[in-house]
Amino acid sequence: MSISSLGFFVLLALKPRSAADSFRPRNLDLFFTSISAATVSSMLTVEMEVLSNSQLLILALLMFTGGEVFTSMFGLFIKQFTLKKSQRKVASVNSDVLSSPNPSCNLEETELSTIVIVPPQNGKIDHESFDLWYLKYSSIKYLAYVVLGYLLIVHIFGITMVFLYLIIITSAREVLNNKDLKLLTFSIFTTVSTFASCGFIPTNENMMIFSKNSGLLLILIPQVLLGNTLFPSFLRFSIWVLGKLNVKKEESNYLLMKSWEIKYLHLLPSLHSSLLVPSVFGFILVQFILFGSMEWSSEALSGLNSYQKIIGSLFQCVNTRHTGETIVDLSIISPAILVLFVVMM
């Protein structure tokens, strides 16, 4: 809530694209948009093109911090901190026991009985348990940085690819120029929104205006999957690759062999992680076949050539279970496909 409130005040301080009162969003609309971006709930009460480039960047930041991957990474850093803090308390208790006047045996009188506290022999801490604790601690710390690296690499690669596409392809660049949208702002906003499964696009038409730009759709499809259902599989694969490269090999092996002890929701066991990939692509394939067979000659895909229809249908099917971005007007597709989308969602 504090992040949403901060985002609202920043949005309020920044000027919208048009200074006319008739186009200026109400304060409640900005507050609603800020919360929607921070919680990646994909709901809007304002047209995206009313917002200025600066406001779009603030929304992108809110979506980035509200995405599942970022929040789970933040949770890992908190878990690492609390684990270290708890170990310090244990070490402090052991130190107090060892420094007592009679180190061989401490007696504490209670109303019911006498509790005998016997310190470790020869005043030595159990090094084996400490080594196990330290391995778990360092593995959680390592996992947090792996997720951070994953997050940054996927975003940087996605932003770069979208930006280069907009520079090279004239038709896509002209769309943004006509709407007075900066190429870099669009690249950042769209990549962050797609990865976070928010579905916001800086244009009022969402991705429908780019339905013929198959290259852009192909760039965004991996972003959709890497930020959502395929994240656990690619996270485990990344840890495996780093282990093979002798990067924190001991921690990598611990994470791969004892993933349940970390209690990180996205670090799945080997079998589950392996089965997730065919499951994801299986659902996409079912949607793609049904959507393509029923909507190929429909009004929703009119004006597109065969290649554009294939890529557009694939993009639409991938987004059904994830971000909600669309290249078609959902109001004109057949009821059967709408039911299919509901089932997949």
- Find the mean pLDDT for residues 16-22: 63
Among candidate residues 127, 299, 325, 141, the one with its CA nearest the CA of residue 220: 325
Tens of pLDDT, residue by residue over 122-149, are 444 566 677 788 888 899 999 999 999 9
- Say what percent of the chain tops pLDDT 90: 50
**Model confidence, pTM:** 0.84
Look over the chain and give the mean of its residue pLDDT values, rounded to a whole number: 85
The first and second tokens of residue 220, run together, are 């965004």
Tens of pLDDT, residue by residue over 59-102, are 999 999 999 999 999 999 998 888 877 666 555 545 444 455 55
Residue 264 CA from chain centroid, whole number = 14
Tens of pLDDT, residue by residue over 41-52, are 878 888 888 888
- Find the mean pLDDT for residues 316-332: 86
Decide if 318 contacts 210 (C-beta within 8 A).
no
Tokens 């406001």 — which residue?
55
